Amino acid sequence: MKKFTLGTPDEFVPSKFCDNFNYVETDVKYPESNFRYRKTKAGFVVEFPMEPGTQVFGFGLQLKQFNHTGSKLKLCVNSDPVSKNGDSHAPVPFFVTNKGYGMYFDTARYADFYCGKRKKSMKKQENMIEGGGDTEAELYKIRLENDMVMSVLIPISEGVDVYVFEGDTITDIVKQYNMLSGGGADVPDWGLGMMYRCYTRWNAEQIKKTADYLREADIPCDMIGVEPGWHSHKYPCTFEWNLEGFPDPKGFVSYLKNKGYHVNLWEHAYTHPESCLYDKLYPYSGDYITMSGIVPDFSIPEAKKIFADHHKSECVDIGVDGFKLDECDSGDYVGSWGFPLLSEFPSGMDGEQYHSLFGTLYSKTILDALGDKPTYSLVRQIGALASSYPFVLYSDLYDHREFVRGVVNSGFAGLLWSPEVRFCFGTEDCIRRLQIVAMSAMCLVNAWNYDGIPWVVHECEEEAREIFKLRYKMIPRLRAAFDKYKATGKPPMRALVMDYTSDPETYKIDDQWLFCDDLLVAPIFPGTEDQRDVYLPTGAKWVNYYTDEPVESGWIHVSTKDIPIYRRVD
Ligand code: GAL
């Protein structure tokens, strides 16, 4: 990997806040002369050639699009993206290509990436498209393939560090990007099990009953999540126990721990005026209110310490070992909530920079509270250089195919994502959704808004039990894959194109993924009569995971009630 400093980079960039940042320069073939850059009124512009046939992937947790070739993306933090424009819980200015390289732009600005544009030439004939095409598809193809450049605009900035990574496969490239931020997350064994998050209106007794039910019903589960109800005020948060519903917080947590559970508490950082933290955090917060609370600036050591110390004494010291850091993105389409981009934070960051860094800084603060305690927690916004933090992304969106695309796309950018089961539209939906969470980075049932247990309500407890048992059977494999992630940066969940980069068939497959080292998962969606086409990359030998029977590579048609899984055997 090699860093190219173009112009004068900003002060507040992701690398500055990445605890495990580890830049080890090596030679790359990519010529520096490929970069053209200039300062414009809009910001800093970087351009470089895109050779014909270049396919572009990545840019963080993009739920709406897989292959970004030819697209324009603006990498905005947003909890409710409505189109393929780059909005995301976790946008990351890092892309990879099928041409042996990937690039990371170290910026906290909402950068624009134009993934294939043609520049004007002085020579008229060079501006014309050679040949032309008869059909619309041909015409667009020709347009896309001639003299293309990728153009990047970093608003307001006067420069940027660009890191170039090279490798034969996209997996090789992504590994290096992940190693730049210290490798993959350190995840405890219990984090690889199931997490059940209880209805937000349940009190301590009802949650304890649910924990008992899971044990009695032989449903394997390692983590119990407590939603907003534990706070005395939740929107904004006090971070103080609601003693009416939870009169004995320590006893409650101990009960769950004695039953073998790990305990995870929901919160967001917007601090309630009645919280004991409010006055202490006030001077270290931004100049706008969000959800009626102040927004702490976690880049300031004093704010981080105040927040972490409180969480340690109120929660960690009584046994809590994980948190769900909610609402640290913002919403532009549903309610326009969140602090404005023009906000000012005491560190000197503006709202745009703080939005990009908020989830990471918040996660680091919570890791301080946890001290040496291992965790596998949740966060709703995180960005660049985050691979070494043990936090999994989730969303309030719920489109089944988008959730699967999230599993596939997260691996391009050092992110972990759970396509949580929140509620179900029927029995088939319940089973099919449980199957995908079982084969993802976190097996999460987030029944926060559900006065019941989804598989009990939908009468499929037997099937649910089998699916969770399948997950637990995967744990040794996940353990090995997460250890490898930590040591080498190889993500446990990967798009097919990551390992099989030279196979053009994989350039469009956004509904299958590689799981750990040797498995390929191809979920079946509800409403398909239990059928789908599956692509098994050629050049590898595959067997059916359940039966060990050999399966031809290439496209096959399958019909099954199970989730199709294949094992690579060569
Ligand atoms: C949402 C979050 C949900 C749930 C809910 C509780 O913001 O995405 O998973 O935690 O808050 O109010």
Question: Nearest CA to 437 among 251, 193, 255?
Answer: 193
Is the per-residue pLDDT at 442 higher than 90?
Answer: yes
* pLDDT at 333 (0 to 100): 86
Q: Which residue is associated with the tokens 């089973």?
A: 431
Tokens of 119: 């520049």
Question: Nearest CA to 246 among 262, 234, 258?
Answer: 234
Tokens of 31: 């010529």
Question: Nearest CA to 174 among 555, 501, 502, 508?
Answer: 501
Return the percentage of the chain with pLDDT > 70, whole number. 96
Q: Which atom of ligand 1 is nearest to the CA of 422?
A: 9
Tokens of 96: 């990879």
* E-state strands within 67-119: 72-74, 91-97, 101-105, 112-118
Tokens of 361: 């800084």
281 close to 293: Cβ distance less than 8 angstroms: no
State the virtual CA torsion across 388, 393, 399, 401 in degrees, nearest 10. Answer: 10
Ligand 1 geometric centre to CA of 233 (Å): 15
Tokens of 41: 């009124």
* pLDDT at 122 (0 to 100): 64
Tokens of 488: 């080498």
Is the per-residue pLDDT at 142 higher than 90?
Answer: no
196 close to 169: Cβ distance less than 8 angstroms: no
- The response to whether residue 329 sits with its C-beta less than 6 Å from ligand 1 reads no
* pLDDT at 374 (0 to 100): 98
Ligand 1 geometric centre to CA of 269 (Å): 13
Ligand 1 geometric centre to CA of 338 (Å): 15
Alpha helix segments (H runs only) across 371-474: 400-410, 427-438, 454-457, 461-473
Is the per-residue pLDDT at 131 higher than 80?
Answer: no
Ligand 1 geometric centre to CA of 448 (Å): 7
Low-confidence winner among 115-129, 141-155, 163-177, 242-256 (lowest mean pLDDT) = 115-129
Residue 140, φ and ψ in degrees, nearest 5: -65, -35
What does the pLDDT look like over 215-240, one tens digit per residue? 999 999 999 999 999 999 999 999 99
d(CA 441, CA 449): 22
Q: Which residues contact 135 (CB under 8 A, 6 or more apart)?
A: none
d(CA 101, CA 84): 23
Ligand 1 geometric centre to CA of 266 (Å): 8
Residue 363 CA: distances (Å) to CA of 180, 204, 235, 367, 383: 18, 26, 19, 6, 11
* pLDDT at 123 (0 to 100): 60
Residue 246, φ and ψ in degrees, nearest 5: -130, 70
What does the pLDDT look like over 408-433, one tens digit per residue? 999 999 999 999 999 999 999 999 99
Residue 460 CA: distances (Å) to CA of 75, 466, 468, 546: 40, 10, 12, 21
* pLDDT at 335 (0 to 100): 83
How large is the average pLDDT for residues 23-47?
97
Low-confidence winner among 127-136, 239-248, 464-473 (lowest mean pLDDT) = 127-136
* pLDDT at 419 (0 to 100): 98
- The response to whether residue 337 sits with its C-beta less than 6 Å from ligand 1 reads no
Burial 98-135 (b: 16+ CB within 10 A, else e): bebbbbbbbbbbbbbbbbbeeeeeeeeeeeeeeeeeee
Burial class (CB in 10 A: 0-12, 13-18, 19+), 89: buried
118: confidence class by pLDDT, cuts 50, 70, 90: confident
Q: Which atom of ligand 1 is nearest to the CA of 266?
A: 10
Ligand 1 geometric centre to CA of 211 (Å): 20
Whose Cα sits closest to atom 4 in ligand 1?
448
Question: Nearest CA to 278 among 249, 246, 310?
Answer: 310
Q: Which atom of ligand 1 is nearest to the CA of 327?
A: 7
Burial 76-88 (b: 16+ CB within 10 A, else e): bbbbbbeeebbbb
Q: Which residue is associated with the tokens 């301080």?
A: 368
Ligand 1 geometric centre to CA of 363 (Å): 17
- The response to whether residue 448 sits with its C-beta less than 6 Å from ligand 1 reads yes
Residue 316, φ and ψ in degrees, nearest 5: -65, -45
How large is the average pLDDT for residues 177-198?
98
**Ligand 1, pocket-test mutation among 267, 325, 448, most atoms within 8 A of CB:** 448
498: confidence class by pLDDT, cuts 50, 70, 90: very high
- The response to whether residue 228 sits with its C-beta less than 6 Å from ligand 1 reads yes
- For the question of whether the overall pTM of this predicted structure is more than 0.75, the answer is yes
Q: Which residue is associated with the tokens 């000012």?
A: 344
Q: Which atom of ligand 1 is nearest to the CA of 324?
A: 10
**Mean pLDDT, the chain, as a whole number?**
96
431 close to 459: Cβ distance less than 8 angstroms: no
135: confidence class by pLDDT, cuts 50, 70, 90: confident
Is the per-residue pLDDT at 146 higher than 80?
Answer: no
Ligand 1 geometric centre to CA of 227 (Å): 8
Question: Nearest CA to 517 among 542, 491, 537?
Answer: 491
Distance of CA 177 to the CA centre of its chain: 15
Tokens of 446: 């987030």
352: confidence class by pLDDT, cuts 50, 70, 90: very high
How large is the average pLDDT for residues 104-117?
97
How large is the average pLDDT for residues 444-467?
97
* pLDDT at 543 (0 to 100): 98
d(CA 144, CA 545): 40
* pLDDT at 124 (0 to 100): 63
In the DSSP assignment, the letter for residue 191 is G
What does the pLDDT look like over 503-528, one tens digit per residue? 999 999 999 999 999 999 999 999 99
d(CA 493, CA 549): 24
What are the beta bridge partners of residue 104? 94, 163
* pLDDT at 33 (0 to 100): 96
Alpha helix segments (H runs only) across 170-232: 170-180, 204-216
How large is the average pLDDT for residues 442-453?
96
* pLDDT at 334 (0 to 100): 84
Evaluate the CA torsion angle 75, 80, 84, 90 in order and state its sign. Answer: positive
Helix then strand then coil, in percent of the chain rounded to 5, is 30, 25, 45
d(CA 93, CA 484): 24
How large is the average pLDDT for residues 121-141?
61
Low-confidence winner among 56-65, 127-136, 326-335, 394-403 (lowest mean pLDDT) = 127-136
**Ligand 1, pocket-test mutation among 230, 266, 291, 418, most atoms within 8 A of CB:** 266
How large is the average pLDDT for residues 38-47?
98
Ligand 1 geometric centre to CA of 50 (Å): 41
Q: Is 511 helix (H, G, I), strand (E, B) or coil?
A: coil
Q: Is 221 helix (H, G, I), strand (E, B) or coil?
A: coil
* pLDDT at 133 (0 to 100): 62
Is the per-residue pLDDT at 164 higher than 70?
Answer: yes
d(CA 430, CA 195): 16
What does the pLDDT look like over 294-307, one tens digit per residue? 999 999 999 999 99
d(CA 60, CA 381): 11
CA angle 380, 384, 390 (to 5 degrees): 55
Ligand 1 geometric centre to CA of 245 (Å): 19
- The response to whether residue 266 sits with its C-beta less than 6 Å from ligand 1 reads yes
